[in-house]
Amino acid sequence: MSKQINVALIGNPNTGKTSVFNALTGLNQKVGNYPGITVEKKEGICKLPRGVKAHIIDLPGTYSLNASSLDENVVIELLLNKNDKDFPDVAVVVCDVENIKRNLLLFTQIKDLKIPTILAINMADRMAYKGISLDIPHLEEHLNTKVVLISTRKKTGIPELKEVIAAYKELSIEPCLNASEIDKDYFANLQKAFPNQLLYKLWLVITQDVNFGKMDRNTIDAVADFKTKSNIDLKRLQQKETIKRYQFINNVLKEGQAIDLSTAKDLRIRLDRILTHKVWGYVIFGLILLTIFQAIYDWSSIPMDFIDSSFASLSEWTKTTMPSGTLTNLISEGIIPGIGGIVIFIPQIAFLFLFISVLEESGYMSRVVFLMDRVMRKFGLSGKSVVPLISGTACAIPAIMATRNIESWKERLITILVTPFTTCSARLPVYLIIISLVIPEGRFLGLSFQALTLMLLYLLGFAAAVGSAWLLNKILKIKSKTFFVVEMPNYKLPLLKNVAITVLEKTKAFVFGAGKIILAISIVLWFLASYGPGDDFNNAEAIVTEKYTNADITETDLDHHIDSYKLEHSYIGITGRAIEPAIRPLGYDWKIGIALVSSFAAREVFVGTLATIYNVGSDEEETIKNRMAGEVNPVLGGPLFNFASGISLLLFYAFAMQCMSTLAIVKKETNSWKWPVWQLFIMTALAYISALIAFQLLK
């Protein structure tokens, strides 16, 4: 049985740490949360030489061990707690070859914790391009560690990194410098008061107010023969420590690094001038969005049609092959159509995540954040608010969690409240099927009307978020002042492996997360649609047969009338009829009403609900799209899903609160039910009024 060791990947943001993690673990990884908090935790397994197996944990990006956010606190508390199951046997500090000086600050701090530490210098393929040369033996000698040059793009250095990790016991754990020289007497007294504790751990506990074991700042303050400095004095000492570390780093890099600026070929400045231009920057961003939405439609049409017809055939095959009875009906009319209602959208959702991943990997997304700061300021937000708003295109829940890096409570609260307006991937299935039913297939300047409609819905959600933020900024009387700082990473070609893993993991999380809800709701809906109270349901066949005794109709038409009558008098039909008066002015019938209510569990359930309802009792091999197109408006006649009712539905879903999970996370992040309740009330009212006006004007 091979031994397993814990390996922590640590580094500044934008050093390619995730690329190194993917190169080491491949698909042997999982994403979760740290116990008790909502910070994302990525971990995976890697096979090393010498029969060693490594448990790799990708820690949140941090610039130093001087924590200023919840993410950075996670890093510090793990490195302090030897009893934590994830405490690293060895730490790998991933460093960007173009920012070695800044990255080495974190490296020297971790070395002071006497953890075996490896310096992995990433993006080595850019050294010649940037005119950088490194004296590796010199760096290893003065940093007391092994230095590995790697390039995840060129796939070099990873085997050497694995070798060094496997031989971690041979690494020196001695610090690079003696940071306690900044105040010898103070640190001597601290060590004397706690002779069995590591000095730098004590210093972190005092300055960061974090815990390790049973030790915290109050414990240290309570020791009689040691007096802690004031907060002002501690801040000054921290500054002295940082200066001393940079003095050491500068001395090491004088001999260990050379940069020949004459050979550096940098297009970054010229690209930034265009991509962040106050006019062209927005034009280019708009064109990129148009291209994305056009591609989502054009590229996914073939696989979607195949999935749609396959599930319809599977449902029919199940019904004709399995013995007739309740179980067969459940599978063919409940489970298969329900799951098919979400699986059909995998191609489009995968393409959406593909494009978002490419934009992030290339470094362009940071430019968008910088660009949009100019707009956000006018509405009481900062550029940092763009990150949750853009993240909201995947899911509102992690997007709302991402507001934790916004320092101002007012800006953070406003961002939390308006983020659900952003079109999430769960709304995408609803938009796609309604657009395909009510928007014609023509083109304008080469762009399809359907793709333009989809883009307009995304822009509408963003405009609603920004407009609401402006109103909240005027209404909420909370004083705050913040500064916007964003790091611009270098432009780079996205790594195919990173993009593929991101698309696979995100799509899998979406499908399986939604799948559980859809499967449960499909079974419940099938039961409610297949059974009903009283004689109307139980004697449906006799009642309908008697009604059409003298009518000249085929047996197939008679069966259809019986199925419709039973559905109308089933439990779900009775419930739908009860809420129909409230939604009829919007152009909806009771079936759409059921789908609206059930989709509050998860937006994508809307399509699965209609798929289940429309399939109950049906023998025809027909796709969900064809069934929806064939529905007739019981009041006005004509197709139920026409231009007026379609636009009404699209607007309702554009403005309505996303789902109950979003409400729960808003409650958790604001620590109050006040905000989510107001959020639900106002967004629902806005959705209803917008849908009502649209239908009444267009019908």
Q: How far is the C-alpha of 453 from the C-alpha of 434, rounded, in Å? A: 11
Does the annotation place 40 within a ligand binding site? yes
Whether 39 has a binding-site annotation, put simply, is yes
* C-alpha dihedral, 174 to 180 to 186 to 187, nearest 10°: -10
Phi, psi of 170 (to 5 degrees): -85, -5
47, two tokens: 């096979």
Q: Is 623 annotated as a binding residue?
A: no
Give which of 454, 477, 488 is closest to 351, Cα–Cα: 454
CA 273 vs CA 267, 278, 280, 367, 510: distances in Å: 10, 9, 9, 11, 37
Q: Residue 12 to residues 100, 108, 180, 288: CA-CA distances in angstroms?
A: 10, 13, 24, 29
- The reply, when asked if residue 222 is annotated as ligand binding, is no
13 annotated among ligand-binding-site residues:
yes
- Under 8 Å between Cβ of 44 and 21: yes
Write the DSSP string, 423-480: --TTTHHHHHHHHHHHS---EETTEEHHHHHHHHHHHHHHHHHHHHHHHHHHH-----
Flag whether 61 is marked binding.
yes
Q: According to the annotation, is 60 in a ligand binding site? A: yes
- Give 222's contacts (C-beta < 8 A, 6+ positions apart): none
Bridge partner list, 447: 444
DSSP strands (E only) in 48-202: 53-58, 90-96, 117-122, 132-134, 147-149
**123 annotated as a binding-site residue:** yes
Place of tokens 């023509």: 442
617 belongs to an annotated ligand binding site: no
User: Cα-atom radius of gyration of the chain, to the nearest Å?
Assistant: 30
C-alpha span between 506 and 155 (Å, rounded): 24
Q: How many alpha carbons fall within 13 Å on the CB side of residue 514? A: 36
User: Is 38 assigned to a binding site?
Assistant: yes
Helix, strand, or coil here: 653?
Answer: helix
Instruction: Kindly tell me the burial class for residue 95, based on how many C-beta atoms sit within 10 Å of its own C-beta (0-12, 13-18, 19 or more).
Output: buried
89 annotated among ligand-binding-site residues: no
Residue 125 assigned ligand-binding role? yes
What DSSP state is assigned to residue 118? E
> How many angstroms separate the first and last alpha carbons of the chain?
71
Are 335 and 326 in contact by the 8 Å Cβ rule? The answer is: no
| Residue 272 is assigned to a ligand binding site | no
Token code pair at residue 650: 């699209």
> 602: annotated binding-site residue?
no
Whether residue 36 is annotated as binding a ligand: the answer is yes
Give buried/exposed letters for 450-489 (b at 16+ CB in 10 A, else e).
bbbbbbebbebbbebbbebbeebbeeeeeeeeeebeeeeb
- Binding-site residue numbers are 11-18, 22-23, 25-26, 36-40, 58-61, 122-125
- Binding-site residue numbers for Mg(2+) are 22-23, 25-26
- Binding-site residue numbers for GTP are 11-18, 36-40, 58-61, 122-125
